[in-house]
Amino acid sequence: MQSRKFRVPQRKTQRRWRVPPALKRGDEVFEGLGLLDEVTGEKGLLLWQSLRDALLWAEAPEGDRAALFAADAERVRMAMLMAAAPAAELEEPLAALARMVGEPNTTSEEMVSLACRRVAQWADEQGLLTTALSFAQAAATVTPGDASTAYAVGKLARRRAEYARAETWFRRAIALARQIGDWPTYSQSFLGLGRLYIQRGNLPMARRFLVRAIRAAERNSLHDLQAMGLHDMFGVAVEAGRSTEARELARAAFEAYGPKSPGLLRLAQDVAYWWITEGYFARAVPVLRSLIPHLPQTSDRLMAFGNLARAAGSLGDREGFRDAWDACHDLLGHVAANEQAAQGLLDLAHGAASLTLWDKAETAAREALEIGSRRQEGKMRLTAEALLESVRHHRAVAARQQVPEQRSAQQPDELLAEDFVRSLSSTGVS
């Protein structure tokens, strides 16, 4: 069955571009304080000193760099490096930053920026988002005309729920990318703004930026980015309660990704979650079970197991719920799960409440509320508060009953579920 093609509105007017400044500080008292909270001891001190050196070098006029550091600065930094014994991935970039203080006039911006980006990548992989953001921002300060580096800062700031800082870096990346014709970063940065406004609950603004991201991707044959934009537009349609549009966008995103795209994994998870919220629990379960073996990231597995727990609880499957609950709690202690922890806990609370496991439901809902409040996620906080109130009074959670599912060629969602399972069962998706 062919779905109606989703058409993106076209822009009628031209826009003038200038590169705006970006916020470089959050609520920390001084630059790098969050890094020292996140990484302690000699390793933390080494990272903080390296960050400070890179920023000092980047912000100084080129002719003044020779006088920035003491004569024995490189020797001192190398001694700190040896004493701290950092991870192998950090040795080379930190050594490069140590050499920078000894040769400030001959060190290139590209080398310093690359070193900072490599430290940021390592920190991100370790779940140390404050450290990752600090070094990504240092890299962007070293190479202020690099659009992709600015985008990376915005992305990390958004993930840390520093929305004001994130927006300024995304807007800067858009302007820089527009000036130099870096269309992938241009489209990605609009996607970043769209996702930021989804997190903040401002759906009209999210839709506006996502439309621009898709339009830019279409113009420049950036098919993966076009698929990502359609995917995020699907999320906006779901949040706005536009089911027909959401169905069309889910199919459009599926086809845009193609059967072997890694983006298909996130789409399958999001569509399965939508079906759960609509009451189609039995439809979502096989998609989630096919999905989980393909998810190496802790945060993604947490979300999938949370969804599975919610669906199993709603179907009255106590054994399936218990297995998913245990799997979630094994993942919640991992630092990399922080970004998705609130939603995962909320799904556990829903599943427990459906099975009248009130103590489990209250514990999970309360923890979701605490995380949502700390991350300033307004919708999450309100949802968790409402669920917690229901659970505390041992009331049935306000959710749709399971919708009877008839296997028919006229059911587009049934066909999409089968397509997901077929694609996820193939060896091409990774």
Predicted pLDDT of residue 380? 84
pLDDT at residue 22 in the model: 81
Of these ranges, 23-32, 149-158, 367-376, 403-412, the one predicted with the greatest mean pLDDT is 149-158
Non-local CB neighbours of 58 within 8 Å, separated by 6+ positions: 109, 112, 138, 141, 142
Report the distance separating Cα 279 and Cα 126, nearest Å: 37
* Pick among 3.10.129.10, 3.40.50.740, 1.25.40.10, 3.90.950.20: CATH of 158-244: 1.25.40.10
Answer yes or no: is pLDDT of 384 > 70: yes
55 and 141 Cβ atoms separated by less than 8 Å: yes
Residue 323 half-sphere exposure, CB side, CA atoms within 13 Å? 9
Q: Is the pLDDT of residue 60 over 50?
A: yes
Residue 402 has pLDDT above 60, yes or no: no
What the block records as the tokens of 338 is 């922080």
Q: Cβ contacts of residue 218 below 8 Å, gap of 6+?
A: 8, 226
Is the pLDDT at 403 greater than 60? The verdict is no
> Average pLDDT in the 221-240 region?
95
pLDDT (tens digit, 9 = 90+) per residue, 77-108? 999 999 999 999 999 999 999 999 999 998 99
Taking the C-alpha atoms of residue 179 and residue 196, their distance in angstroms, rounded to an integer, is: 23
* pLDDT at position 3 over 50: no
Predicted confidence (pLDDT) at residue 406 exceeds the cutoff of 60? no
Q: What is the mean pLDDT of the chain?
A: 88
Q: Binning pLDDT at 50, 70 and 90, where does residue 426 land?
A: confident
Check whether 142 has a pLDDT greater than 70. Answer: yes
Provide mean pLDDT across the span 239-256.
94
Neighbours of 236 (CB within 10 A): 21
- Rounded to 10 degrees, the C-alpha dihedral 30/32/38/43 comes to -130
303, 344 Cβ separation under 8 angstroms: yes
Q: Kindly tell me if the per-residue pLDDT of 272 is higher than 60.
A: yes
For the cut 50, the answer to whether the pLDDT of residue 399 exceeds it is no
Q: Residue for token digits 């968790």?
A: 384
- Residue that the structure tokens 């020797």 belong to: 75
Dump pLDDT digits (tens) for 152-186.
999 999 999 899 999 999 999 999 999 999 999 99
Residue 249: its H or E element: helix 243-257
CA distance linking residue 256 with residue 244, whole number of Å: 18
Q: Is pLDDT at 44 greater than 70 in this prediction?
A: yes
Any idea which residue has 């996607």 for tokens? 191
77, with CB counted inside 10 A (0-12, 13-18, 19+), is buried
CB 288 within 8 A of CB 312: no
* Topology at the third CATH level for domain 258-425: 1.25.40
Q: In one letter, which amino acid is 20? A: P
Q: Which two tokens stand for residue 24?
A: 């470089």
Output the pLDDT for position 10.
58
Each residue's pLDDT tens digit, 294-309: 998 888 899 999 999 9
pTM of this structure? 0.77
CA pair distance 257, 249, nearest whole angstrom:
12
CA dist., res. 234 & res. 166, Å (int):
23
* Rounded mean pLDDT, 354-372: 91
pLDDT at res. 31: 74
At 339 the pLDDT is 66
User: How buried is residue 16: exposed, middle or buried, by Cβ count under 10 Å (0-12/13-18/19+)?
Assistant: exposed
Average confidence (pLDDT) over 356-375: 90
What is the mean pLDDT of the segment spanning 337-353? 85
Tell me the pLDDT tens digit for each residue of 213-226. Answer: 999 999 999 999 99
Residue 152 neighbours by CB under 8 Å, 6+ apart: 117, 120, 136, 139, 140
Q: Which of 356-370, 372-386, 391-405 has the lowest mean pLDDT?
A: 391-405
Positions of CATH 1.25.40.10 in the chain? 158-244
Is the per-residue pLDDT at 315 higher than 70? yes
Euclidean distance between CA atoms 217 and 151, whole angstroms: 16
Tell me: pLDDT of 11 over 80.
no
